Chain A
Amino acid sequence: MLKDDKGLLIVQIYVDDIVFGSTCQEYVDEFVESMTKEFEMSMCGELTYFLGLQIKQIEHGIFISQSTYAKNLVERFGLKGSKTARTPMGVTDKLSRDEAGEDVDERTYRGMIGSLLYLTASRPDICLAVGVCARYQAKPKTSHMLAVKRIIKYMNGTMNLGLYYTKDTTRSLMGYCDADWAGSLEDRRSTSGGCFFMGNNMVSWHSKIQNSVSLSTAEAEYIALGSCCTQLMWMTQMAEDYGMISDSLLILCDNQSAISIAKNPVQHSHTKHIDIRHHFIRELVEAKLIVIDHVGTEHQLADLFTKPLDFNRFISLQTSIGVCEL
C-alpha cells in the first residue's frame, strides 16, 4: 500500500497472482514497470478472473460471480436436468442428527459441501443452508443428502447470480447482527448471523452456531453482537491498513434487551452468568468505538444468515444485500 497526496496504490498478492489498483494512473504504470523489471510477469490487464471468481468491472460497479463453477458443480453431481428449487432451504426444514436414517456416502457428501462452500465466496444467499448441512459431515444420512441436493437444485436455477458492488457508495463500515435462539434441535444452541457493509456494498458475512447454550433470546443476540464486533474491528483494521480512517462503527441489532445489556455495564441476575469474553462489547461501546442501534425486523438483513426464509422474504433480502444477475 502506498499513499500520498497524489493518490493511493493498493496491491494484494495471492501467491503468484497480484491484484492492484490505484486512484492515480501514473502509479499503476510505475508499479507495472518496476514489477516487470524484477520478475518475469505475464497476463497484465484489467482484472477479470481471480481465484475462480469471474469479475466484471463496469461503469457503475463491479460484478463478481462464479457461474462457470456453479454450472460445472451442478453437472458434476448429476442434477442438471432436475427441477429447480426457489430457495436453498425449506422454511420448516429442521435438520437433526437423524440417528435412525440411512447412511449415505461420506465422500460424495463432503465433496458436495466442499464445492458449495467455495461457491459462497460470491453467493452469500446459500451461506446459511450450506453451513447447516456442513454440520452433519461426520455421519451424513439420507435426510441431509436431500437438503444438500436442494441447495444444488436451487443453484441450478440461479447460476448466473452474483454479487454486485455499486460505486454509488460511502466508505463507512456497518454491520447487521442477528441470532436464531435455540435453533439447533440437538443441543439447543443458537446460530449467530451477521453481514457487514462498506457503504452500500456487503463485503463480509458469517453464519455460525454459537459455542454455548443461551438461556434467552437476548443472551443469544448479545453473543452474536460480540462476534459482529470482532468482525467489524477486523474490517476497521483492514481499512486503516489501506489508509482509510473510519469514524465510529454502527451495528444494527433487532433485539432491544441485547442492546441494553451492551450499553449498560451493570450486572443483572439475568446476565451475570454470561461469559466474560462476550462483555468486551461494553468496553467498545463505552469508548464510543462502536454504536449499537435498533433495527426493525423487516429491515434486518442478517435474517438471511440465521434462519430459513419463505420465498418472498428471501428474494427481498437477497436483493438488499446485492445478490443479483447482471
Chain B
Amino acid sequence: MKVDYRQLAGKRQTISPTNTEVVQFACFVSSIEPKNHKEALIDEYWITAMQDELEQFKHSEVWDLTPRPAESNVVGIKWIFKNKINEDGLVVRNKARLAAQVYSQVEGVDFEETFAPVARLESIRFLFGMSCALNFKLHQMDVKSAFLNGVLQEEVYVEQPKGFENSEHPNYVYKLKKALYGLKQAPRA
C-alpha cells in the first residue's frame, strides 16, 4: 500500500491497542519518513534522531571544525531519514544518518580506490554447517555505526550538516577524521 507521507505528516499513527508492545512503539517513534531536513526539523522525534546521530559523531570523534581550506574540494553532506521496521512491519526506530554526497568526490583527490570487503553467502552457510557438525550455538552482534570506526587516510572536508550549523562559525567546514556514510572510502575504512 502506498502512503502519502506528506499527508500523514504531523499526525501520529493510530493503532488499535491490542498489543502493548505496539502502543509502546507508537509512542516513541514517528511513522513518517521526512524527505529532507526541513520536514524533519518540524518533528520532535526526528530532531531527537538527528541529535542522536550528531552525539554519536562527537563520541566517536569523527570530525573537527576548521576554517574552509582554500584549495581542497569540500564534499556536500545530507541527512538521510529512514524508519527501521521490525518483522511485523511496525516502525521501531527513527534513524537519521548523515551521508556524504559522493558525486562531489573526485578520484585521485578525495579517494584512491573503492571496494568493500564482504563475505560470501556460501561461507555463511558453511559456518552453519560447521556449527551443526560441532554442535554449537551461533550468536550475533553488530557494531553500532560501523563506518564511524574507520580512520581515514585521505584528507576529506565536508560541509556542516543542514539545520545544525555552528552559530559562531557558519562558514567553517568539518575535516573528517573517520569515514562517513556515503564516502567512497566508507566500506573499507
Which A residues are within 8 Å of any B CB, using their own CB?
A: 8, 10, 12-23, 28, 32, 35, 39-51, 53, 55, 57, 61-62, 64, 68, 121, 163, 165-167, 169-171, 198-199, 201, 203-204, 235, 238, 242, 244
28 pairs, A vs B, C-beta closer than 8 Å: A10-B127, A12-B123, A14-B119, A15-B118, A16-B142, A16-B145, A18-B141, A19-B140, A23-B136, A40-B143, A42-B141, A42-B143, A43-B142, A45-B141, A46-B139, A49-B87, A62-B128, A62-B138, A64-B128, A163-B125, A165-B132, A167-B133, A169-B129, A201-B129, A203-B122, A203-B126, A238-B123, A244-B130
Query: Which listed residue, B125, B133, B135, B138, touches A170 by the CB 8 Å rule?
Result: B133
- Say whether A62 contacts B123, CB under 8 Å: no
Known: A16-B143, A41-B143. A167 touches B119 (CB 8 A): no
Total count of chain B residues near the partner, CB < 8 A: 34
Name the A residues within 8 Å of B116 (CB-CB): 15
Question: Does B161 reach chain A (CB closer than 8 Å)?
Answer: no
Task: Please tell me if the beta carbons of A8 and B134 are within 8 angstroms of each other in the complex.
Answer: yes
Determine the distance from Cα of A51 to Cα of B149 in the docked complex, in whole angstroms. Answer: 21
Docked-complex contact B132 and A169, CB < 8 angstroms: yes
How close is B114's CB to chain A, nearest CB, in angstroms? 14
| CB within 8 Å for A18 and B142 given contacts A12-B119, A204-B122 | yes
Contacts of A40 in B (CB 8 A): 59, 143-145
Residues of B within 8 A of A (CB): 59, 87, 116, 118-119, 121-147, 149, 187
Main secondary structure of the interface of A (DSSP, over half): strand
Residues of the B chain whose Cβ atoms lie less than 8 Å from the Cβ of A204: 122, 125-126
The answer to whether A43 touches B140, judged by C-beta atoms less than 8 angstroms apart, is: yes
Q: Is the CB of A57 within 8 A of B118?
A: no
Find A32's partner among B133, B137, B141, B145 (CB 8 Å cutoff): B141
A313 CA / B132 CA spacing, docked (Å): 28
Q: Which residues of A contact B137 (CB under 8 A)?
A: 21, 46-47, 57
Q: Could you tell me the distance between the alpha carbons of A12 and B144 in the complex, rounded to whole angstroms?
A: 17
State the CA gap A189–B143 with chains docked (Å): 47
Task: Contact check, B126 vs A22: say whether CB atoms are below 8 A apart.
Answer: no
Q: Is the CB of B130 within 8 A of A35?
A: no
Shortest Cβ gap from B76 to chain A (Å):
24
A47 CB contacts on chain B under 8 angstroms: 137-140
Quick one: given A12-B127, A40-B143, A43-B140, are A61 and B132 in contact (CB under 8 Å)? yes
Chain A nearest Cβ from B47, distance in angstroms: 22
Q: Is the CB of B139 within 8 A of A45?
A: yes
User: Within 8 Å CB of B124, what residues of A?
Assistant: 12, 14, 19, 50-51, 53
> How far, in whole Å, are A35 and B140 apart by their CA atoms in the complex?
12
What is the CA–CA distance of A39 and B116 in the complex, to the nearest angstrom?
20
